[in-house]
Structure 1
Amino acid sequence: MRAAVYYGNQDLRLEDVPEPEPGPGQVKIRVSRNGICGTDLHEYYDGPIFIPTEPHPLTERKAPMVLGHEFAGVVTAVGSGVTDVAEGDQVAVEPIYRCGQCRPCTTGRYNLCQSIGFHGLMADGGMAEHTVVPSFQVHKLPDGVPLELGALVEPMAVAHHAAVLGNVGDQDRALIYGAGPIGIGLWFALRSMGLTEIDVVEPSETRRKSIEALGARTLDPTSQDVPGLIAERTKGDGVDAAFDAAGVEPAVESALNCVGERRPLVSVAIYDRPLSTPLINLVLRERRIQGTICYTSEDYRAVLDLMARDHYDFTGWVDTVPLSQVIDQGFEELRAGRRMKLLVDPTA
């Protein structure tokens, strides 16, 4: 079968590899679509970062590795002991490997597992015609959710988990930095919680127009004084939560000037370099920075329920590229900012 195999920095090869078969407790999936994530871009252009060069403690795998952790497909075979999923089921995959023994795992926060791994980073992933996953990673798609959109459950679950950590309610005001896929997902997640007062801060006109087309309200930090405007709108109180999905220092500095006292800046970004942002505004106003990573099955169930109710609108910002052109039409287009979100079709 064909697969995109990561060997190292800017070394991703389209190869014929053996088709995997499920062992006990495993599920074989014919992949329909696999999303290209910002993490994949970091691995390709700057890595290896997360892909291990020594065997991972949970999967015992290291590079070279088939990429892809955002994917959905059809179950084609199940291993012994698998009873909750069957051949023909359409599924999305929650790609976390966890040890089940450390404190985060035993308290239900396995997204913080001390040995965490990811399918597509620490085990051969979904940027291939077929892949095999543990059955606990599988979520059936509800009726009415198109298989091709199942690959978007993972990034929307990232955003949903971050939105929950913002601890906001339907009368609150929120600020999102970055109108990429996670920023869009945050906007939808906050809307599902009843928020109507949400501003999205984005310097790119293309991205502003994309999220405005969905109904969002935007601010341009290159021409508007965002902290000043927020102070004016809130009579100095600030927003109830800010979310950084941009991953750049100016966004962090601006957000910390916009959140109210004892309110959070939720960081849902990977930073390319250390931040030098002064923390005086945290101290004087008892603000806090809240980290967030991944999701749990609870977030997956919430996103799948919202998808089944047509809460998300993927029109205009999600496109598909063939696996055969994953670098030229995929990675390079995303890095150049010419595309918003790309799904890879492994059959093309």
Structure 2
Amino acid sequence: MRAVVYRGREKLDITDVPEPPVGHGEVRLRVGVNGICGSDLHEYFAGPIFIPDGRPHPLTGRELPLTLGHEFSGTVVEVGPGVDGVTEGDRVAVMPLYSCGACPACTAGRPNVCAQIGFHGLMADGGMAETTVVPQHMLHLLPDEVSLEMGALVEPMSVAYHAARLGEVGPGSTAVVFGAGPIGIGLWFALRGTGVADVYVVEPSGPRRAAIERLGARTLDPGAVDVPAAVADLTHGRGADAAYDAAGVRAAVETATASVGNGRPTVSVAIYETPIETPLINLVMNESRIQGSLCYTAEDYAAVIALMARGHYDTTGWVERIAMTDVVAEGFEALRAGRRMKVLVDPAIA
């Protein structure tokens, strides 16, 4: 089968690899589409970062080289022994987490922050291939109303939904999202889906502002307005009830922490490729805080799929499909250059 195999920084092969066997408790999926994630970009241009190099991952036993892809949907084509409630032909989204089940986080019911966390597609061969084999526990059945394309977006939208919940906002709240990339867009959808009407998206890029405005969002251009002052005006001096950093740059963190109200959180859901210095004066003077957000839970997946089934998410103008053979030029390089916003790799495109 064809697969996108990662061998190190800026080293990808689109090549034929053997199909792995289906073991106990596992299923084989024919991959529908697989999204290129921001973490994939970091691995390609600056890695290996999370992908094991020279030391096998403790839960999967895998290291370089391996097939990328952790944002994907598919159709079950083979069911292994010990699998119940799943049949060939089922359409699924995949929650690609490996967790140990024994560390303090896991035993406290928080496997998304497992001490040995792993990801299908970063610590095991993933979904940027014609087929992939996954444990049954990763599967989330898709209702008829949710397409395989939308199913591949469940993973990044669940990242955003989890972060949105950590901001502790709801009807009547005001939220500010920094960054209008896929996770920023997902935050806007998630916040709106949980009843937050007043959501403002801060984005310096004109094309990105235009893309999310077409979806119905209200935006602020940090090059044209003083964002903390604008937020203060919009909230009658109260400040935002939550801010979200989906940009991963110092300016966003500083502005976000200056925009929230007393005691309120700035939720960090970005990947920081390099360390950033963040002055703490805003947090001290405001008794506010920075809250980290990692991954998602099964409950987040279920909530996102339910919203998708109701038609809440719209991919118009920000999601594009490409062939596997175009993954470098039209995927990684185009995303890095800002020519595309969200790219789904479709193994069926020749």
Q: TM-score, normalised by structure 1?
A: 0.99
Counterpart position of 1:165: 166
Post-superposition CA distance 1:239-297 (Å, at most 9, x none): 00000000000000001110000000000001122222210111121100000000010
Moved more, 190-199 or 226-235: 226-235
Does structure 2 conserve the Cα–Cα contact (< 8 Å) formed by 1:20 and 1:130? no
**Aligned amino acid, residue 27 of structure 2:** V
Query: Where in structure 2 are the equivalents of 1:280-291 lying within 5 Å?
Result: 280-291=281-292
SS at match of 1:27: strand
Query: Where in structure 2 are the equivalents of 1:1-348 lying within 5 Å?
Result: 1-53=1-53, 54-348=55-349
Runs of 4+ in 1 over 4 A off after TM superposition: none
SS at match of 2:196: coil
Aligned equivalents of 1:131 and 1:221: distance in 2?
Answer: 43
Aligned equivalents of 1:147 and 1:226: distance in 2?
Answer: 38
The alpha carbon displacement at 1:233 in A equals 2.1
SS at match of 2:85: coil
Does structure 2 conserve the Cα–Cα contact (< 8 Å) formed by 1:91 and 1:140? yes
SS at match of 2:62: coil
SS at match of 2:154: helix
**Aligned amino acid, residue 61 of structure 2:** E
**Aligned amino acid, residue 247 of structure 1:** G
Moved more, 289-298 or 223-232: 223-232
Aligned equivalents of 2:51 and 2:258: distance in 1?
Answer: 36
The alpha carbon displacement at 1:71 in A equals 0.3
Does structure 2 conserve the Cα–Cα contact (< 8 Å) formed by 1:260 and 1:287? yes
Does structure 2 conserve the Cα–Cα contact (< 8 Å) formed by 1:177 and 1:246? yes
Aligned equivalents of 1:282 and 1:220: distance in 2?
Answer: 24
Aligned equivalents of 2:191 and 2:237: distance in 1?
Answer: 22
**Aligned amino acid, residue 208 of structure 1:** R
Does structure 2 conserve the Cα–Cα contact (< 8 Å) formed by 1:176 and 1:186? yes
**Aligned amino acid, residue 247 of structure 2:** A
**Aligned amino acid, residue 2 of structure 2:** R
Aligned-residue CA RMSD in angstroms?
Answer: 0.7
**Aligned amino acid, residue 26 of structure 1:** E
Post-superposition CA distance 1:145-203 (Å, at most 9, x none): 11222100000000000000000010000000000000000000000111111110000
**Aligned amino acid, residue 37 of structure 2:** C
Post-superposition CA distance 1:21-70 (Å, at most 9, x none): 21000010000100000000000000000000110000000000100000
SS at match of 1:321: strand
Aligned equivalents of 2:297 and 2:198: distance in 1?
Answer: 27
Aligned equivalents of 2:71 and 2:194: distance in 1?
Answer: 24
Post-superposition CA distance 1:117-161 (Å, at most 9, x none): 000000000000000001000111012111222100000000000
Does structure 2 conserve the Cα–Cα contact (< 8 Å) formed by 1:67 and 1:126? yes
Moved more, 40-49 or 16-25: 16-25
- Ranges in structure 2 where 5+ consecutive residues have no aligned partner: none
SS at match of 2:343: strand
Aligned equivalents of 2:201 and 2:104: distance in 1?
Answer: 36
SS at match of 1:342: strand
**Aligned amino acid, residue 279 of structure 1:** L
**Aligned amino acid, residue 12 of structure 1:** L
SS at match of 2:84: coil
Aligned equivalents of 1:21 and 1:140: distance in 2?
Answer: 22
Matched residues, number: 348
The alpha carbon displacement at 1:84 in A equals 1.8
**Aligned amino acid, residue 10 of structure 1:** E
- Ranges in structure 1 where 5+ consecutive residues have no aligned partner: none
Counting aligned pairs with the same residue, the percent is 63
Moved more, 180-189 or 145-154: 145-154
Aligned equivalents of 2:278 and 2:142: distance in 1?
Answer: 42
Aligned equivalents of 1:279 and 1:235: distance in 2?
Answer: 24
Moved more, 53-62 or 268-277: 268-277
**Aligned amino acid, residue 7 of structure 2:** Y
